[in-house]
Amino acid sequence: MSVKTPNLDRIQNPSDLKNLDLDTLKSVADELRAETIDAVSVTGGHLGSALGVVELTTALHHVFDTPDDKVIWDVGHQCYPHKILTERRDRIRTLRQGGGLSGFTKRAESEYDPFGAAHASTSISAGLGFAVARDLKDENRNVIAVIGDGSMTAGMAYEAMNNAGALNSRLIVILNDNDMSIAPPVGAMSHYFSRLVSSQSYRNIRKVGKGVAKALHVQEAARRAEEYMRGMAMGGTLFEEMGFRYVGPIDGHDVSQLVPVLRNVRDGEEGPVLIHVVTQKGKGYAPAEAAADKYHGVAKFNVVTGEQQKSKGGAPSYTGVFAHQLIKEAEADDRVVGVTAAMPGGTGLDKFAERFPDRMFDVGIAEQHAVTFAGGLAADGMKPYCALYSTFLQRGYDQVVHDVAIQKLPVRFAIDRAGLVGADGCTHAGSFDVGYLGALPGMVIMAAADEAELCHMIATANQIDDRPSAFRYPRGNGTGVDLPDVADVLEIGKGRIVREGGSIAILSLGTRLEESLKAADELAAKGFPTTVADARFAKPLDEELILRLAREHEVLITVEEGAVGGFGAFVLHMLAERGALDRGLKIRTMTLPDVFQDQDTPFNMYETAGLNARHIAARALEALGREQEAAQVMAAGVQAE
């Protein structure tokens, strides 16, 4: 579908917006919305949040002198219009593709992205850092942090605001309110007040009033009177108490309202200012406006109908299997509860909530709170399943250590998006959880090789009442195995032999088991029958099984979907402690590479990581000194793909 954008076509970079009148700016915004819709229809991505900030993005680049002025987008999934306006329009249809643009802001990608972000609630902290750096260098530039109301559910945002209010550095925070009702509805009166309190004339009168109040020794009473007058008229008393000047609410889709307020705030000399902008997620695209999630995240879709490209049928998703099995556990045990941090749909707990609405808790973007809240539930006899993406559990690690592990509380961590995640890239990859959880005494860590194994691990976690446990599983669909009618409770710390072989053993943790079996097929075809084992547990290790593999095989390969310092390191440490490395065992550990991998298809990402079948087979042959056969396996794999 071609999009006619005569005004947008003249915008090569933000400087081309500077001298445009308001009517032309509105036309640019309309064309920018159409371009965004068309681009995301090709790539998929976060559409609803991007459509909600089209006018705001246009106004920001019109008023401020980017990239000298720093605009920091919280989370970053709202940055697609920003990318189009900042010299990346010609690449916007490579969004979230291998070798293309990131789906989030990224410093390495553009000077217009001063701070990378894909997790929530970081913008105010980063913005304050830029503001203080500016002040220390005696420079003159504006710093603007754009944060959504959802991100304001995280404590980090308030920590930053508290610090900013105390430092009194000049910082502009734009609260993009597209869901929560934290202030009176937008209307003509609130527009009037917003323009009034951001204007120079108001500030001049305010300064005179302060002088009079000081002379009369009633400055504190005057400050509170003004604060509460504006608080009652417009909302924002909370932000005022934290040291921010509050402006708003204003209509975030009305350029004629946005531009004068942004100019007034830009030209002010005050400390931190918060502008409350009300927007609509999915604005301007009927299918998005009508959808329950406002097209927050979409696959490729038909622009005319809004119909999204359906995923391939077949096996259920791991997330869906988790929800299915957790519901079964909850039906049999009324102590089972679900906890998540603003991701009920992403973790499958929305399905759990449909069945058990009183036993599911979405705490907002607050992973630290989610972990400790689950700890409190566990301490009083409940069975909490804290379902978080691996990359988001990182944000609550201190709470896992201090509030759960030290106290041996039986919180069950359901770790979704383990391993590489495709289009979301390195910011959302579940690379580190095995390592950081494996360091904790008493922790039980399981990794599912397929969807049936996931069911068994959920049932197993439900029976662990004396310590915390975790089970990890990837994004996407399972392998197509049958789900058990009744899930087994696994013996803690025991793996399984999947295939018996000869001189080579492959020990897999997680869903690389399928690739390990393919590698064994390739090795067998070359005359090297191979044993394949599923570790199941990263902690505690099945020492008996691993020692047997080390004793009975010449080569032992460990394979995992995690970073260096995880499962393979645990195996090496145990074997060294038990003296098993002294007998000439050729052991190789295969992990994710020691880099942050950019987005691509999952298969290509694992190709880059060197964790597909041909890499496993070649590594085993190299360990045997069969370099020529290893090269043949690698070459044959390239041709097959």
pLDDT, tens digit, for every residue of 29-86?
999 999 999 999 999 988 988 999 999 999 999 999 999 999 999 988 899 999 999 9
Q: Dig out the tokens for 554 from the structure.
A: 């010449």
> Is there a catalytic annotation at residue 395?
yes
Question: Which of 35, 55, 240, 367 is an active site residue?
Answer: 367
Q: Dig out the tokens for 509 from the structure.
A: 């943790």
- Closest among 420, 477, 601, 641 to 44, alpha carbons compared: 601
Q: What is the pLDDT of residue 584?
A: 87
* 593 preceded by a cis bond (ω within 30 of 0): no
Contacts of residue 640, Cβ cutoff 8 Å, sequence gap at least 6: none
Contacts of residue 574, Cβ cutoff 8 Å, sequence gap at least 6: 541, 543, 546
Contacts of residue 615, Cβ cutoff 8 Å, sequence gap at least 6: 519, 590, 634, 637
Give mean pLDDT, residues 242-254: 92
Q: What is the pLDDT of residue 583?
A: 84
Asked if 557 and 517 touch (Cβ cutoff 8 Å), the reply is: no
Q: What structural domains does the chain harbor? A: 8-290 (3.40.50.970), 318-472 (3.40.50.970), 496-640 (3.40.50.920)
Residue range 573-605, pLDDT digits in tens: 999 999 998 888 999 999 999 999 999 999 999
Least confident of 211-215, 456-460, 586-590: 211-215
Q: What is the pLDDT of residue 311?
A: 67
pLDDT of 187 over the 70 cut: no
DSSP assigned state of 419: B
Pairing of strands 143-148, 70-73: parallel
Average pLDDT of the residues of the chain: 90
Give mean pLDDT, residues 136-162: 92
Distance CA 330, CA 319 (A): 16
Distance CA 60, CA 66 (A): 9
Torsion of Cα atoms, 334 then 335 then 341 then 344, to 10°: -20
Residue with tokens 């290509």: 604
SS3 percent helix, strand, coil of the chain, rounded to 5, is 50, 15, 35
Q: What is the pLDDT of residue 224?
A: 54
> Is there a catalytic annotation at residue 4?
no
DSSP assigned state of 402: I
> Is there a catalytic annotation at residue 367?
yes
Q: What is the pLDDT of residue 377?
A: 98
pTM (predicted TM-score): 0.88
Residue range 85-136, pLDDT digits in tens: 999 999 999 999 999 999 989 999 999 999 998 888 999 999 999 999 999 9
Give mean pLDDT, residues 309-338: 92
pLDDT of 226 over the 60 cut: no
Question: Which of 395, 417, 472, 614 is an active site residue?
Answer: 395
Q: Dig out the tokens for 102 from the structure.
A: 């990131």
Question: Which of 281, 472, 536, 539 is an active site residue?
Answer: 281
Contacts of residue 491, Cβ cutoff 8 Å, sequence gap at least 6: none
